[in-house]
């Protein structure tokens, strides 16, 4: 039997969720902290009474010593009336089994943390459904996307996740002699399925409309279907485009996923790994990346590979101390931007003191995703971009919304807002003015920051 070692803190809030968290490590402990602070009723399970006691001393949670995959422990934890079960131990197989058993015991929703690519690839498969797993999250994958958002356009990552690779979003600098210069968007003959979302210039960023004109040096955010994207890009760029140089240290899943997230002609990516066999393996998988068996912190390698000339240096090994030292060294060698991946929370406060520009924590990214997944609201903010002037929203119209069946040209959106994409079943596309919104559609809306309430009024209310 599990042993209850809590201090008897009362469960709060008539409208709060009953949450079970398996695993009191970095992710599980942080999730318990955030969810309990939000007023949810959290029960934390772990085999270590010492870990649980340390969390119980500072959090308003119920703790239970026991094996989280054992049916009787989950029943004692309240799985029969559980709204959400989060499996967050360090072992993928235990997490998968724990969630499956919890679902069988009555848990309404399960979220499973995994590390290995093979397990993460189960997302959306019948196998995951049969196990009773509603959502799979990988902290390392989430961190790679968070870093990519910083290096790229944050809205681009949001759109790519929404569109599952069927659409492309790119921030393009308008070059001299581009065909679009001096024209308004209404005068451009962009390919079907392509549109300009925002335009940034020295005066600030704006959400584009038909009257927006294009000038040399503008940064244009272009959305399009993959097949015709190059044709749309050619309206804004002529000749050779300056590439952004990225150096990544590490052969971890985070490093590999980051390389994939930066697959774009504008990026020149070099990946530094320790082992020759791993270097050869990754070189085959990442054809757009230059993979080197070398240590960029070695002075000779740093000089020979001109690491001091890169735009961004990312340290993503499995060792926090090595990542911090590598980024600190890169900054002393005048690298423009350094980014460290840090697993342990105690190091997060230190990085800015040693000159590192940014630090990313897989545990924090995992908890952010958990909060996103349990947000069942019809309008959700996914990202801000264009120097903070635009926001990306995911909108699920109500089945009784008045706008259903109306052509987009007849829908009065909030000022400067646009429906950038529609997901219907498994198909995602950029809509035209004649398209209609149907029940079950999910929309990607781009507009000014803070129009969530207006979107709810339009797409949710009768």
- Residue 336 sits in the same domain as residue 421: no
pLDDT of residue 330: 93
The overall average pLDDT reported for the chain is: 88
Helix (H) or strand (E) holding 20, with range, is strand 18-22
- Residue 341 sits in the same domain as residue 298: yes
Number of DSSP helices (H) and strands (E) in the chain, helices first: 15, 22
pLDDT-above-90 percentage for the chain: 60
pLDDT of residue 364: 85
CA 461, 439, 128, 158 dihedral sign is negative
- Residue 319 sits in the same domain as residue 405: no
What residues make up the domain containing 397? 375-459
CA 263, 267, 273, 275 dihedral sign is positive
Going by pLDDT thresholds of 50, 70 and 90, the confidence category of residue 276 is: very high
Q: What is the CATH number of the domain that holds 325?
A: 3.40.50.720
Angle between helices 26-37 and 362-373 (to 10 degrees): 50
- Strand 390-395, strand 442-448: pairing: antiparallel
Listed in sequence order, the residues at least 6 apart from 73 whose beta carbon sits closer than 8 Å to its beta carbon are: 1, 2, 45, 64, 66, 67
Average pLDDT over residues 246-265: 92
CA–CA distance from 310 to each of 149, 255, 337, 352 (Å)?
18, 17, 9, 20
Rounded Cα distance, 374 and 2, in Å:
27
pLDDT-above-70 percentage for the chain: 95
Q: Is residue 215 part of a domain?
A: no
Q: Is residue 195 part of a domain?
A: no
Q: Is residue 182 part of a domain?
A: no
Rounded Cα distance, 126 and 383, in Å:
30
Of the spans 74-83, 361-370, 385-394, 415-424, which averages the highest pLDDT? 74-83
- Residue 18 sits in the same domain as residue 130: yes
Each residue's pLDDT tens digit, 431-442: 988 999 999 999
Each residue's pLDDT tens digit, 284-307: 999 999 999 999 999 999 989 999
Rounded Cα distance, 306 and 308, in Å:
5
Q: What would the DSSP string read from start to end of 175-187?
A: PTT-TTTT-BGGG
- Residue 107 sits in the same domain as residue 7: yes
pLDDT of residue 3: 39
Using the 3D structure, point to which of 88, 103, 137 is the last residue of a domain. Answer: 137
Going by pLDDT thresholds of 50, 70 and 90, the confidence category of residue 55 is: very high
- Residue 9 sits in the same domain as residue 101: yes
Average pLDDT over residues 139-154: 86
Average pLDDT over residues 52-68: 94
- Residue 381 sits in the same domain as residue 275: no
Q: How many domains does the chain have?
A: 3
Helix (H) or strand (E) holding 3, with range, is strand 3-4
Phi, psi of 304 (to 5 degrees): -65, -35
pLDDT of residue 462: 56
Average pLDDT over residues 219-226: 88
pLDDT of residue 8: 34
Residue 28 gets which letter from DSSP? H
Which range has the worst mean pLDDT, 32-41, 63-72, 122-131, 182-191? 122-131
- Among residues 204, 258, 212, 251, the alpha carbon closest in space to that of 390 is found at 204
- Residue 341 sits in the same domain as residue 433: no
Query: Does pTM top 0.95 for this prediction?
Result: no
pLDDT of residue 384: 84
Phi, psi of 84 (to 5 degrees): -150, 130
Rounded Cα distance, 181 and 184, in Å:
8
Rounded Cα distance, 251 and 349, in Å:
25
- Partners of 86 in the β-ladder: 21, 111
Q: Is residue 181 part of a domain?
A: no
Going by pLDDT thresholds of 50, 70 and 90, the confidence category of residue 15 is: low
Average pLDDT over residues 167-173: 85
| Residue 231 pLDDT exceeds 50 | yes
- Residue 104 sits in the same domain as residue 8: yes
Rounded Cα distance, 248 and 349, in Å:
22
Helix, strand, coil percent values for the chain (each to nearest 5) = 35, 25, 40
pLDDT of residue 2: 41
| Residue 327 pLDDT exceeds 90 | yes
Going by pLDDT thresholds of 50, 70 and 90, the confidence category of residue 152 is: confident
Q: What is the CATH number of the domain that holds 412?
A: 3.30.70.1450
| Residue 51 pLDDT exceeds 90 | yes
Rounded Cα distance, 426 and 187, in Å:
33
pLDDT of residue 254: 94
- Residue 13 sits in the same domain as residue 98: yes
pLDDT of residue 6: 35
pLDDT of residue 345: 73
Q: How many CA atoms lie within 13 A of 194 on its CB side?
A: 24
Of the spans 64-73, 118-127, 254-263, which averages the highest pLDDT? 64-73
CA 355 to chain CA centroid, Å, is 26
Each residue's pLDDT tens digit, 357-399: 999 999 888 888 888 888 777 898 888 887 778 899 999 999 8
């Amino acid at each position: 039997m599990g042993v209850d070692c809590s201090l008897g803190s009362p469960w709060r809030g008539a409208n709060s969720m009953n949450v079970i968290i398996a695993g009191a490590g970095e992710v599980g402990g942080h999730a318990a902290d955030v969810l309990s602070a939000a007023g949810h009723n959290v029960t934390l399970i772990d085999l270590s009474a010492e870990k649980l006691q340390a969390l119980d001393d500072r959090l308003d949670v119920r703790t239970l010593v026991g094996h989280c995959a054992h049916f009787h422990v989950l029943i004692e934890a309240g799985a029969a009336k559980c709204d959400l079960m989060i499996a967050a131990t360090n072992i993928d197989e235990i997490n998968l089994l724990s969630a499956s058993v919890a679902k069988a015991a009555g848990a309404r929703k399960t979220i499973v943390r995994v590390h290995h690519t093979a397990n993460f690839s189960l997302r959306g498969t019948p196998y995951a459904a049969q196990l009773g797993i509603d959502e799979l999250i990988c902290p390392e994958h989430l961190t790679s996307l968070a870093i990519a958002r910083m290096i790229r356009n944050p809205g681009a990552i949001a759109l790519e996740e929404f569109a599952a690779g069927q659409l492309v979003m790119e921030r393009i600098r308008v070059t001299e002699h581009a065909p679009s210069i001096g024209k308004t968007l209404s005068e451009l003959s962009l390919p079907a399925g392509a549109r300009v979302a925002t335009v940034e210039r020295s005066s600030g960023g704006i959400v584009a409309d038909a009257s927006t004109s294009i000038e040399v040096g503008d940064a244009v955010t272009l959305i399009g279907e993959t097949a015709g994207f190059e044709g749309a890009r050619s309206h804004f760029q002529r000749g050779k485009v300056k590439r952004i140089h990225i150096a990544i240290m590490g052969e971890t899943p985070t490093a590999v996923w980051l390389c994939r997230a930066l697959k774009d002609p504008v990026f020149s990516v070099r990946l530094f790994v320790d082992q020759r066999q791993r270097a050869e393996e990754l070189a085959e998988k990442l054809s757009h990346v230059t993979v080197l068996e070398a240590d960029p912190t070695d002075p000779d390698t740093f000089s020979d590979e001109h690491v001091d000339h890169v735009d961004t240096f990312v340290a993503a090994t499995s060792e926090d101390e090595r990542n911090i030292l590598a980024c600190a060294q890169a900054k002393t060698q005048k690298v423009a931007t350094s980014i460290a991946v840090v697993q342990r929370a105690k190091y997060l406060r230190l990085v800015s003191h040693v000159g590192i520009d940014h630090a990313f924590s897989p545990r924090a990214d995992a908890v952010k995703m958990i909060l996103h997944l349990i947000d069942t609201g019809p309008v959700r903010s996914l990202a801000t971009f264009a120097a903070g002037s635009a926001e990306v929203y995911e909108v699920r119209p109500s089945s009784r919304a008045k706008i259903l069946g109306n052509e987009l040209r007849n829908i009065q959106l909030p000022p400067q807002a646009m429906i950038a994409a529609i997901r219907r079943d498994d198909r995602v596309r950029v809509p035209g003015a004649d398209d209609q919104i149907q029940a079950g559609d999910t929309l990607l809306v781009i507009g000014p920051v803070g129009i969530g309430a207006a979107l709810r009024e339009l797409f949710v209310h009768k």
